[in-house]
């Protein structure tokens, strides 16, 4: 029993009054005045006082003495639909609660509710109650209050989602809500991440991670650092929880190749015993620096292209080049002996199986594996190299075109092009773009606008017929690319593949761009601009800081949903985004049922339904071209230079089903996986609201919030268990005053003491002024 | 071959005509007579030969280019253009289509114009161009030309083209001497300078100069017999000359490739073996 200050005052007053009364009675009895007529009246008054004091004393003693009754805890389980994904957690909590009750001699009664209350015989019946859409906490508690004795302790398992409104009910029960879904406390949370602000590419970065979790809990959890922008895991490892929180981990992070600022997400994988993984994530901001760009260059034969490109790569001290040229084919027979040759054996196995990952960019020029009796399986290593973040530039040539090995489907899938026409070895073969999304005009590749070849298009077109669909000056006549309309172009196909990038260069002779630069050496150095741009692109340098994110908010307005895009270094004004090819079903049919064609686009964006940005007030601007096949959403930058664009999209299945959205920035098509805001942010906001409501319910019903259900996964936390026992005891004390209505039950001893004091005061005054005593 | 005198050639005009006839009509590939089938392949090796004065001055050995191409095809993985060479003027437009040009000097060479010098200089500094200057000692000896005067003139011209730069001796360990074969000496028909000299542009040589008549060592008559004997080294000297020519081409195509660290231990090992 916990005494409050007023209880101590009450006991002290009672003791003092009893002492004074005893002293007065003794004094009067000794003086013989009690035997007089007025003395009898005084004795009556004093007896009344004594009776009142005894009643007060008795009340205080009798009230708490009912603790011998059996403690009974009522468990009320929310079976609304919003709790449906918490079933596993509810099961764990009930298990923990049953174990705790058994250990503490507490009997449990079970109830389930959604819009109506149902009494259960045992805990397992909870899950037999159907989940329903409504959650009527107010009605339920009032109904339960009518069934149970006043002061009964009720543990309510709920997420706090109330469909009746947010007015907290008031009952005579002691309501102890246990919050599901979220709350200020969590089962496991990342307390701190100390990650270095700058790390070197391909190095090792030690960092510290501090976790809080329920004491005594031992488990092994996975930890992942992922790139939310690209939606892939950068690194994975496991952590062993020792049961002694807060636990500090020192981890070594192997830094990947990609450079530039990184906004990663560190996530502790959700354990089976966890109900809320929202606090298992932390943002990791760092910048990957590159000491040197490491380039591996392998050429199938000596050529001026090789010589020029080699010199260009070597001209920058920030690059490190390792190159190999096949100087002699197996069929070549030098007229002089082997000792006259300076040739070294080509370390094919070492390059393809061991050393490849040490490089950022791999340039493979006119190299056919079969010609050098090498297994084509080595190409698989290149694919793996790219998928893990490497840059690969494949320069076509005669060796490649004569080789059937590059006709394999896996190669086509990898490079984004496929062979068409002609038989290998029988004549020149032609490549065709397999994936139109990978096509990239070579003259718009350079990320720097000033160095972008597009800028010099007019001047260059007079020198090289690059846009007319005619031959590229000095390009290889056999390696042209056909576009969708059958026109031939000098070829460059560039595409991102998982973490890396692939570029297929379908022409040779670019060295003549350099020698054609002109005697004045003014203007744009086409050769340098192209190859520098391509190497930067392949190594991911140009992508540093180009974050593109898309958010879909289900907040609807006149059949539209809000779309927000974040595009760092985006253009001023507006951008257009559209669902990428992955937005379509596996069978290739568009998910969008609107299938007719709209006006043609001039910049490569898909034509079709074009939506304006959000208008002012309640009427978003919407430009709808009826009968469209695809969707283009125009988003406007809200604050100039912010890179945040907002607009509206139709609430169509195709929009929701899009697994990625695309936009064009410069010459590059950026993709982003959309995030739906009904996810974490929305949940967190709602959970805070719901948790606050549970706090109100508890306060209005003599209880308190028991915390978050995640803490109960393994067992009832010791401190929480003590608080429940205390609440149970207090609730039974209050039950003992059931004879007095309402607040009188608690206040009666005080009034009795006051009555006794008043009687004694009257008696003293009567004696003082009527001369009974002197 | 030893009995052939230096500077003695066969019936020059007859040989040239005969070889050209063979080239035109007997080659198995498309010929210049069928231009519709002809397309320059920039991924195939071709040299430019600088034009000045008469053809017999700037291209005194018109048949050796074919032999050079055959040597390259036979020994290396280099794919050569069927014509191998193209006569060009030192203008930006004509230079642009080539990355390796030969300037064969003769007494009738006077000088390049200022514009031609500027074009050659820019072309070299643009990145990949390389000029090979070679004398025609066999012819000059036959004509009793004052070779020293010509050499001085050529050196003055080179220094006029590359203002501020001067010719330097190409070290025997340089990549030019190791780009494909391991070459011991500068070679040529007549050893007048045991070293190769050149102008460096950055880390590479943009111009190399040999006055020893490197090309003359490849010249054959209709029967396939070498026309010039090599002095003083004989056939060994010819072999080194041929190796050096191949190396110059490979060097023009691969730059300083053979100076990469990975090659050095292998090359040193081979050199040790050869010394034994």
**Three-class SS string for A364-425?**
EECCCCHHHCCCCCHHHHHHHHHHCCCEEEEECCHHHHCCHHHHCHHHHHHHCEEEECCCCC
| Number of residues that this document lists for chain B | 276
Percent of chain A scoring above 90 in pLDDT: 8
- CA–CA dist A636, A491 (Å, integer): 34
When pLDDT is cut at 50, 70 and 90, the band that residue A1 belongs to is very low
Evaluate whether residue B143 is within a structural domain.
Answer: yes
Evaluate whether residue B7 is within a structural domain.
Answer: no
Residue B193: is its pLDDT beyond 80? yes
Do β-strands A293-299 and A361-365 pair in parallel, antiparallel, or remain unpaired? Answer: parallel
Q: Which of B80, B112, B128, B187 to mutate: most A Cβ within 10 Å?
A: B128
CATH number of the domain that residue B67 is part of: 3.40.50.12140
DSSP helix/strand/coil, B245:
helix
What's the pLDDT score for residue A165? 64
pLDDT tens digit sequence for B73-129 = 999 999 898 888 999 999 988 898 889 999 998 888 899 999 999 999 989 988 767
- CA–CA dist A212, A204 (Å, integer): 26
Which DSSP category does A582 fall into?
Answer: G
DSSP helix/strand/coil, A440:
coil
What's the pLDDT score for residue B71? 93
Residue B54, C-beta contacts closer than 8 angstroms, at least 6 positions apart: B108
- CA–CA dist A313, A309 (Å, integer): 6
What's the pLDDT score for residue A467? 29
Residues of chain A found within 8 Å of residue B178, distances taken between Cβ atoms? 342
Name the more confident of B222 and A401.
B222
pLDDT tens digit sequence for B134-151 = 777 666 665 555 678 888
DSSP helix/strand/coil, A313:
helix
- CA–CA dist B207, B252 (Å, integer): 10
- Average model confidence (pLDDT) for chain A? 72
Q: Which residue has the tokens 């073996």?
A: B273
What's the pLDDT score for residue A65? 43
Residue A406: is its pLDDT beyond 60? yes
Query: The domain containing residue B177 runs over which residues?
Result: 12-275
Beta strands in chain B (DSSP E): 45-50, 80-88, 100-104, 130-134, 168-169, 197-201, 204-210
Ranges A180-184, A228-232, B223-227, most confident: B223-227
Query: Phi and psi (nearest 5°) for A310?
Result: -60, -45
Which DSSP category does A355 fall into?
Answer: I
Instruction: Give the bridge partners for A661, in sequence order.
Output: A579, A672
Helix (H) or strand (E) run with residue A189 in it: strand A189-194
Ranges A124-128, A457-461, A527-531, B19-23, most confident: A124-128
Per the structure, the count of domains in chain B is 1
Closest residue to B129, CB basis, from A332, A340, A515: A515
Residue B212: is its pLDDT beyond 70? yes
What's the pLDDT score for residue A461? 40
Residue A679: is its pLDDT beyond 50? no
Average pLDDT value for residue range A75-92: 78
Name the more confident of A96 and A61.
A96
When pLDDT is cut at 50, 70 and 90, the band that residue A183 belongs to is very low
Name the more confident of A15 and A592.
A15
- A522 C-beta neighbours (distance < 10 Å), count: 8
What's the pLDDT score for residue A26? 73
What's the pLDDT score for residue B78? 93
HSE (CB half, 13 Å, CA atoms) of A741?
0
- Assign domain A293-333+346-543 to a CATH class: alpha beta
Average pLDDT value for residue range A27-53: 72
When pLDDT is cut at 50, 70 and 90, the band that residue B5 belongs to is very low
What's the pLDDT score for residue A609? 30
- Whether the CB of A398 is below 8 Å from some CB of chain B: the reply is yes
Q: State both tokens at A586.
A: 């596996």
The interface predicted TM-score of the complex, written ipTM, equals 0.85
Residues of chain B found within 8 Å of residue A344, distances taken between Cβ atoms? 262-263, 266-267
Query: Phi and psi (nearest 5°) for A242?
Result: -90, -5
Residue B25: is its pLDDT beyond 80? no
DSSP helix/strand/coil, A102:
helix
pLDDT tens digit sequence for B44-56 = 889 999 999 999 8
Evaluate whether residue B86 is within a structural domain.
Answer: yes
Residue A193, C-beta contacts closer than 8 angstroms, at least 6 positions apart: A207, A208, A209, A210, A266, A282, A284
Residues 93-112 of B with CB under 8 A from A: 95-100
Q: Which of A306, A340, A526 to mutate: most B Cβ within 10 Å?
A: A340
Residue B13: is its pLDDT beyond 70? no
Residue A488: is its pLDDT beyond 90? no
- CA–CA dist B260, A320 (Å, integer): 11
Instruction: Give the bridge partners for A631, in sequence order.
Output: A609
- Whether the CB of A289 is below 8 Å from some CB of chain B: the reply is no
Closest residue to B95, CB basis, from A477, A511, A515: A515
Provide the b/e sequence for A249-275 (b: ≥16 CB within 10 Å): eebebebbbbbbebebebbbebbebbb
Name the more confident of A506 and B110.
B110
In this structure, are residues B38 and B93 in contact, taking their beta carbons and an 8 Å threshold? no
When pLDDT is cut at 50, 70 and 90, the band that residue A732 belongs to is low
What's the pLDDT score for residue B205? 93
Residue A345: is its pLDDT beyond 70? yes
What's the pLDDT score for residue A15? 77
Q: Look at A519 and B122 and tell me if their CB atoms are within 8 Å.
A: yes
Q: Does domain A71-181+684-736 have CATH number 3.40.50.410?
A: yes
When pLDDT is cut at 50, 70 and 90, the band that residue A767 belongs to is confident
What's the pLDDT score for residue A181? 63
Percent of chain B scoring above 70 in pLDDT: 81
In this structure, are residues A87 and A129 in contact, taking their beta carbons and an 8 Å threshold? no
pTM metric for this prediction: 0.56
Q: Look at A341 and B182 and tell me if their CB atoms are within 8 Å.
A: yes
Ranges A444-453, A518-527, A715-724, B226-235, most confident: B226-235
Nearest Cα residue in chain B from A345: B266
- CA–CA dist A272, A262 (Å, integer): 30
Q: State both tokens at A688.
A: 């805070």
What's the pLDDT score for residue A594? 26
Ranges A656-670, A679-693, B159-173, most confident: B159-173
Instruction: Give the bridge partners for A179, in sequence order.
Output: A158, A708
Average pLDDT value for residue range A53-75: 67
Ranges A424-433, A500-509, B13-22, B31-40, most confident: A500-509
What's the pLDDT score for residue B139? 64
Evaluate whether residue B3 is within a structural domain.
Answer: no
Name the more confident of B39 and B190.
B190
Name the more confident of A559 and B179.
B179
Residue A587: is its pLDDT beyond 80? no
Evaluate whether residue B5 is within a structural domain.
Answer: no
pLDDT tens digit sequence for A417-470 = 776 554 443 444 556 665 544 444 444 444 455 544 444 444 444 333 332 233
Ranges A219-233, B12-26, B225-239, most confident: B225-239
What's the pLDDT score for residue A473? 37
Cα distances from A743 to residues A523, A729, A751, in angstroms, run: 93, 18, 12
Q: Which of B77, B218, B256 to mutate: most A Cβ within 10 Å?
A: B77
Q: Look at B270 and A519 and tell me if their CB atoms are within 8 Å.
A: no
Average pLDDT value for residue range B240-266: 91
In this structure, are residues B18 and B24 in contact, taking their beta carbons and an 8 Å threshold? no
What's the pLDDT score for residue B250? 95
Nearest Cα residue in chain B from A305: B43
Evaluate whether residue B2 is within a structural domain.
Answer: no
When pLDDT is cut at 50, 70 and 90, the band that residue A617 belongs to is very low
- CA–CA dist B257, B267 (Å, integer): 13
Q: How many helices (H) and strands (E) does chain A have?
A: 16, 32
Residue A324: is its pLDDT beyond 90? yes
- CA–CA dist A665, A566 (Å, integer): 13
Report the CATH fold assignment for A189-289.
Immunoglobulin-like (2.60.40)
A364 min Cα distance to partner chain B (Å): 15
């Amino acid at each position: 029993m916990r005494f409050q200050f007023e209880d101590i005052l009450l006991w002290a007053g009672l003791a003092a009054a009893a002492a004074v009364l005893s002293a007065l009675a003794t004094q009067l009895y000794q003086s013989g005045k009690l035997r007089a007529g007025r003395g009898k009246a005084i004795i009556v008054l004093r007896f009344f006082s004594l009776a009142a004091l005894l009643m007060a004393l008795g009340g205080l003693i009798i009230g708490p003495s009912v603790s011998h009754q059996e403690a009974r805890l009522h468990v009320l389980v929310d079976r609304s639909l919003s709790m449906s994904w918490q079933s596993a957690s509810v099961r764990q909590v009930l298990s923990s609660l049953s174990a705790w009750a058994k250990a503490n001699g507490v009997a449990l009664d079970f109830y389930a509710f959604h819009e109506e209350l149902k009494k259960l015989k045992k805990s397992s019946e909870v899950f037999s109650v159907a989940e329903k859409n409504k959650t009527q906490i107010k009605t339920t508690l009032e109904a339960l209050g009518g069934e149970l004795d006043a002061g009964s302790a009720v543990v309510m398992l709920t997420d706090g989602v109330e469909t009746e409104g947010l007015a907290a009910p008031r009952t005579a029960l002691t309501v102890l809500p246990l919050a599901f879904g979220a709350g200020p406390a969590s089962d496991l949370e990342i307390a701190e991440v100390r990650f270095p602000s700058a790390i070197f590419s391909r190095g090792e970065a030690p960092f510290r991670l501090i976790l809080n979790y329920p004491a005594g809990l031992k488990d092994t959890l996975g930890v992942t650092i992922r790139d939310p922008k690209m939606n892939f895991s950068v690194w994975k490892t496991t952590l062993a929880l020792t049961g002694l929180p807060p636990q500090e981990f020192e981890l070594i992070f192997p830094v990947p190749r990609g450079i530039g600022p990184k906004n990663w997400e560190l996530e502790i994988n959700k354990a089976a015993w966890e109900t809320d993984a929202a606090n298992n994530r932390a943002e990791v901001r760092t910048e990957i620096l590159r000491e040197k760009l490491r380039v591996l260059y392998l050429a199938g034969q000596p050529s001026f292209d090789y010589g020029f490109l080699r010199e260009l790569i070597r001209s920058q001290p920030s690059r490190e080049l390792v190159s190999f040229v096949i100087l002699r084919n197996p069929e070549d027979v030098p007229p002089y002996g082997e000792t006259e040759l300076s040739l070294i054996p080509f370390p094919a196995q070492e390059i393809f199986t061991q050393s490849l990952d040490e490089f950022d960019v791999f340039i493979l020029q006119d190299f056919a594996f079969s010609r050098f009796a090498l297994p084509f399986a080595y190409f698989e290593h290149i694919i793996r190299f790219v998928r893990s973040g490497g840059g690969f530039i494949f320069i076509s040539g005669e060796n490649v075109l004569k080789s059937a090995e590059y006709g394999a489907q896996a190669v086509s899938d990898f490079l984004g092009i496929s062979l068409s026409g002609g038989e290998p070895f029988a004549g020149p073969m032609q490549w065709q773009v397999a994936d139109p999304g990978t096509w990239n005009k070579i003259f718009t590749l350079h990320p720097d606008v000033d160095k972008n070849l597009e800028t010099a298009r007019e001047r260059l077109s007079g020198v090289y017929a690059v846009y007319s669909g005619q031959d590229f000056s000095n390009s290889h006549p056999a390696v042209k690319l056909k576009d969708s309309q059958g026109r031939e172009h000098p070829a460059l196909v560039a595409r991102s593949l998982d973490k890396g990038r692939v570029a297929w260069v379908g022409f040779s002779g670019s060295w003549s761009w350099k020698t054609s630069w002109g005697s004045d050496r003014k203007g744009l150095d086409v050769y340098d601009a192209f190859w520098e741009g391509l190497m930067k692109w392949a190594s991911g340098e140009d992508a540093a800081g180009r974050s593109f994110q898309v958010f879909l908010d289900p907040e609807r307005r006149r059949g539209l949903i809000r779309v927000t895009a974040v595009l760092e270094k985006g253009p001023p004004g507006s951008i257009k985004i559209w669902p990428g090819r992955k937005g379509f079903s596996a069978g290739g049919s568009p998910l969008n049922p609107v299938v007719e064609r709209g006006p043609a686009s001039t910049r490569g964006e898909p034509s079709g339904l074009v939506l304006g940005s959000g208008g002012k007030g309640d009427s978003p601007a919407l430009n709808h071209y009826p009968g469209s096949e695809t969707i283009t959403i125009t988003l406007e930058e809200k604050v100039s230079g912010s890179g945040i664009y907002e607009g509206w999209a139709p609430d169509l299945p195709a929009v929701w089903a899009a697994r990625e959205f695309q936009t064009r920035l410069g010459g590059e098509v950026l993709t982003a996986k959309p995030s739906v805001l009904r996810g974490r942010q929305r949940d967190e906001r709602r959970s805070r609201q719901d948790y606050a409501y549970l706090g109100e319910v508890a306060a209005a019903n003599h209880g308190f919030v028991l915390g978050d259900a995640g803490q109960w996964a393994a067992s009832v936390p010791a401190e929480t268990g003590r608080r429940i026992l205390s609440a149970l005891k207090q609730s039974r004390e209050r039950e003992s005053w059931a004879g007095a209505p309402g607040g009188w039950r608690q206040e009666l001893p005080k009034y009795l003491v006051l009555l006794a004091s008043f009687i004694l005061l009257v008696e003293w005054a009567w004696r003082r002024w009527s001369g009974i005593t002197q | 071959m030893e009995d052939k005198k230096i500077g003695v050639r066969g019936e020059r005009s007859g040989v040239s005509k005969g070889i050209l006839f063979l080239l035109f009509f007997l080659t198995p590939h498309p010929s210049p007579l069928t231009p519709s089938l002809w397309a320059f392949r920039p991924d195939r090796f071709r040299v430019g030969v600088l034009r000045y004065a008469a053809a017999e001055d700037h291209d005194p050995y018109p048949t050796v280019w074919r032999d050079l191409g055959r040597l390259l095809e036979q020994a290396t993985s280099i794919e050569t253009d069927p014509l191998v060479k193209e006569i060009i003027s030192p203008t930006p437009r004509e230079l642009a289509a080539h990355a390796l040009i030969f300037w064969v000097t003769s007494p009738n060479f006077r000088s390049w114009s200022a514009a031609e010098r500027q074009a050659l200089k820019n072309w070299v500094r643009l990145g990949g161009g390389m000029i090979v200057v070679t004398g025609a000692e066999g012819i000059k000896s036959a004509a009793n030309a004052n070779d020293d005067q010509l050499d001085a003139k050529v050196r003055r011209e080179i220094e006029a083209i590359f203002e501020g730069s001067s010719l330097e001796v190409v070290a025997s360990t340089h990549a030019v001497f190791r780009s494909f074969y391991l070459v011991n000496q500068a070679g040529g028909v007549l050893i007048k300078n045991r070293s190769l000299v050149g102008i460096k542009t950055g880390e590479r040589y943009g111009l190399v100069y040999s006055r020893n008549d490197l090309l003359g060592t490849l010249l054959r008559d209709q029967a396939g017999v070498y026309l010039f004997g090599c002095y003083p080294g004989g056939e060994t000297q010819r072999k080194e000359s041929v190796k050096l020519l191949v190396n110059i081409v490979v060097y023009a195509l691969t730059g300083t490739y053979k100076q990469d660290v990975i090659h050095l231990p292998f090359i040193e090992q081979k050199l040790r073996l050869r010394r034994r």
